[in-house]
Amino acid sequence: MNKIIIYMMIFLVIIGFLFFAYLKTQESTVERYVFTSDWLNKHNIYVYGTPPIDYLKKVNATGVTFSVYYSGLNDEDKNYVDKLHKNGFKVTSNFPTIQAHITDNQSLREAAHCIDISGNPLMFFGDQFAMCSNSYIWQGFLKRRVEEHINGGADAILIDEIGTMEDCFCEDSIMAFNSYLSSRYSISQLHNLFGIDDINSFNYRIYLLEKGAKSIWDDPNQKLMEEYFKFQYQSRVSFIRELIQHAREYAGRDILFTGNTYGLRPDEQIYVPYLDFITFETPIESLQGKLFVIYLLGESLSPSKPFIGFPDIFVLANISEEDWWLWRHWLAEAYASGGSFLIPYNSYTLGGRLYSVPFDKLSAYTDFISSHQSYYENVSRIAKVGILYDLHSTLINQAKWRAWAAWDNFVKTGQALQEAHILFDIIYKGDSEFVNKPITLNDLEKYSVVIIPGYYDLDAATESLLKQYSQKGGHIVKANDTLDSSNLIAKIRNMGLDLGLETNAPSNLGIMVYKKDGSLLLHFINYDYNNQTHDFIPKNQIAVTLTLPDDINLTGKTLRLLTPDTNEKTVDYIVQENKIKFTIPDIHEYLIASFE
């Protein structure tokens, strides 16, 4: 009996050893996922949410963004991440920073939420607390939460609500503001500039109420209001930088960061230096759907970083799945402008509805973009006109209302040039505090004309550069504060300069022109959308005359017309001295004209 027991034990030991050896063999044959950053590319295609693998394949996606771990690490999302990794897709997780619903910890919600000017909880879209970015306990929570995203295998992390809650007056914000003021102003300056006699007991919210203010915008002391905005910007930038650094140190591997820099507005641009790529919701309707100026602004701010647009939740609430032509259009516009565009899968909209676009309706465009990458890479935009973008003027200015007016004027100036088919680019000047990007005389001299939008508050150094530019033959056009688009265009055209492009194209057909490998290519984007038929109204017989740059030789080249909408064509063209003339027979939505 004892021998039988001994034999059984020996048998079990042998079986256990063999099973362990088998597991080790299997472990060595399974390829371990390697995190890298070399997948990031300006022309990648991404899908919002958690779409099935087949959908990602159908649109040639690099992966997903605004995706997993909204409420932290969980098994369902982790299994999805593993599945995507096994199929070669990248995952950018969704990391909200202001929404209270991302935690079930009610005591944390109560302790760290914002309050409004009246002392009531500040709400985020009406149904949850807005959490305070200046709260140390909330910051600690976010650091622990970002660790969960890393443990969950995210290739990149999207920081949502990356900007400030400027109308937050909780105790944490008030105390931090007092500390900010005392570090910048002496006791006498605090008294003389702001009427503050005791900084330790000063409460900005109470001060506003005593002045009869109903919001921060009612502060009778514009200088103090400006300082509150600057404090909020600096505090938030400091934390975002700290959060990213903490995450990278914790990860000990490649981990990329993007952020929802809403509308690429001035108060969102200040986070771009700390991000690897930018994913931004944008109010397309309020921008009249013409986004050339926004994409060009992003490229001017940070030329090497991808910028990915996406309609905001208000736009998504007002379109249907029948509007799939719009998504083709937005993709085409983004890629023609050097950017990319996010495709929705069960995207949240205002009101709680989920929105998806039928992926089979997009595949013609995503296939076209993926198979014609050479038309988007290593290209150089042709532009004779530069719009000066000044971050100080659009962020702080002499008064905050003037800053917002300057931003609006800048955007509308870009849209006016796009509609007038005046080829333009952006000259980005940082404020040296949030974005360190100075301009030089060489930057200005790339253009025949430099436009200064209205409401600008330029510093002496920039005014000096502009004077030098003018003295050397450059032309400066200053837009009026109350922008008259037709008057602005007339001023430019009346200079008698060769602006590089003449066309009979209507204002709702956008044109972008590039140099590539000693040749030319043009992108045509149709904006004439019919809301009743859910389709674009084609444009016909578009005549184009281009001035040939000195380094371009089209001898022996064929003019190809490529489009995802129909079959490829070739058309004739005429070269007369330094001009080239041709006619595009028809454009449905998107077309590339390439000399090859």
Is 580 within a domain?
yes
On whether both 421 and 508 belong to a single domain, the answer is no
Integer Cα distance of 72 and 95 in angstroms: 8
What average pLDDT does range 227-248 have in this prediction?
97
Show the DSSP H helices in 59-170 as ranges: 75-86, 106-112, 136-151
pLDDT at res. 28: 42
Task: Please say whether the dihedral angle defined by the alpha carbons of residues 156, 367, 263 and 311, taken in this order, is positive or negative.
Answer: negative
Integer Cα distance of 100 and 15 in angstroms: 53
Is 3 a residue whose pLDDT tops 80?
Answer: no
> Which of 322, 352, 372 marks a domain boundary?
372
On whether both 336 and 443 belong to a single domain, the answer is no
Is 5 a residue whose pLDDT tops 80?
Answer: no
First-to-last C-alpha distance (Å) of the chain: 89
Is 10 within a domain?
no
What are the structure tokens assigned to 549, written together? 């740059």
Integer Cα distance of 125 and 349 in angstroms: 12
Is 576 a residue whose pLDDT tops 70?
Answer: yes
Of all helices (H) and strands (E), which one includes residue 563?
A: none
Q: Whole-prediction pTM value?
A: 0.93
Is 39 within a domain?
no
On whether both 546 and 461 belong to a single domain, the answer is no
> Which of 315, 345, 372 marks a domain boundary?
372
On whether both 92 and 133 belong to a single domain, the answer is yes
Mean pLDDT of the chain: 94
Least trusted range by pLDDT, from 135-144, 249-258, 259-268, 548-557: 548-557
On whether both 264 and 122 belong to a single domain, the answer is yes
Question: Which of 449, 512, 438 minimizes the C-alpha distance to 479?
Answer: 449
> Which of 323, 340, 372 marks a domain boundary?
372
pLDDT at res. 285: 74
261-306 confidence digits (pLDDT tens): 999 999 999 999 999 999 999 988 755 689 999 999 999 999 999 9
Integer Cα distance of 509 and 200 in angstroms: 59
Is 31 a residue whose pLDDT tops 90?
Answer: no
Assign residue 368 the CATH number of its domain. Answer: 3.20.20.80
Binning pLDDT at 50, 70 and 90, where does residue 9 land?
A: low
Question: ∠ CA(99), CA(101), CA(107), 5° rounding?
Answer: 100
Is 508 a residue whose pLDDT tops 80?
Answer: yes
Q: Residue 476 belongs to what domain range?
A: 382-493
Least trusted range by pLDDT, from 101-110, 179-188, 425-434, 547-556: 547-556
On whether both 261 and 355 belong to a single domain, the answer is yes
350-405 confidence digits (pLDDT tens): 888 899 998 899 999 999 999 999 999 999 999 999 999 999 999 999 999 999 99
On whether both 468 and 542 belong to a single domain, the answer is no
pLDDT at res. 125: 83
On whether both 438 and 362 belong to a single domain, the answer is no
DSSP E strands: which ranges in 225-276?
Answer: 256-260
Of all helices (H) and strands (E), which one includes residue 323?
A: none
Integer Cα distance of 298 and 387 in angstroms: 13
The segment with the largest mean pLDDT, out of 288-292, 334-338, 485-489, is 334-338
On whether both 507 and 468 belong to a single domain, the answer is no
Residue 109's CB is within 10 A of a number of other CB atoms, namely 18
On whether both 445 and 544 belong to a single domain, the answer is no
Is 583 within a domain?
yes
Find out whether 594 and 562 touch, Cβ atoms under 8 Å: yes
pLDDT at res. 482: 81
Is 144 within a domain?
yes
The dihedrals phi and psi of 569, each to the nearest 5 degrees, come to -130, 165
Query: Which residues, other chains included, contact 338 with Cβ-Cβ below 8 Å and sequence gap of 6+?
Result: 42, 295, 296, 299, 307, 376, 381
Is 564 a residue whose pLDDT tops 70?
Answer: yes
Is 22 a residue whose pLDDT tops 60?
Answer: no
133-170 confidence digits (pLDDT tens): 999 999 999 999 999 999 999 999 999 999 988 899 99
pLDDT at res. 30: 43
Find out whether 392 and 92 touch, Cβ atoms under 8 Å: no
Total domains in the chain come to: 3
Is 342 within a domain?
yes
On whether both 327 and 394 belong to a single domain, the answer is no
Binning pLDDT at 50, 70 and 90, where does residue 29 land?
A: very low
Assign residue 575 the CATH number of its domain. Answer: 2.60.40.1180
Is 240 within a domain?
yes
Residue with tokens 């309609």: 311
Residue 247's CB is within 10 A of a number of other CB atoms, namely 21
What average pLDDT does range 418-423 have in this prediction?
97
What average pLDDT does range 53-61 have in this prediction?
95
Is 181 a residue whose pLDDT tops 50?
Answer: yes
Is 194 within a domain?
no
Binning pLDDT at 50, 70 and 90, where does residue 98 land?
A: very high
On whether both 91 and 144 belong to a single domain, the answer is yes
Is 83 a residue whose pLDDT tops 90?
Answer: yes
Assign residue 448 the CATH number of its domain. Answer: 3.40.50
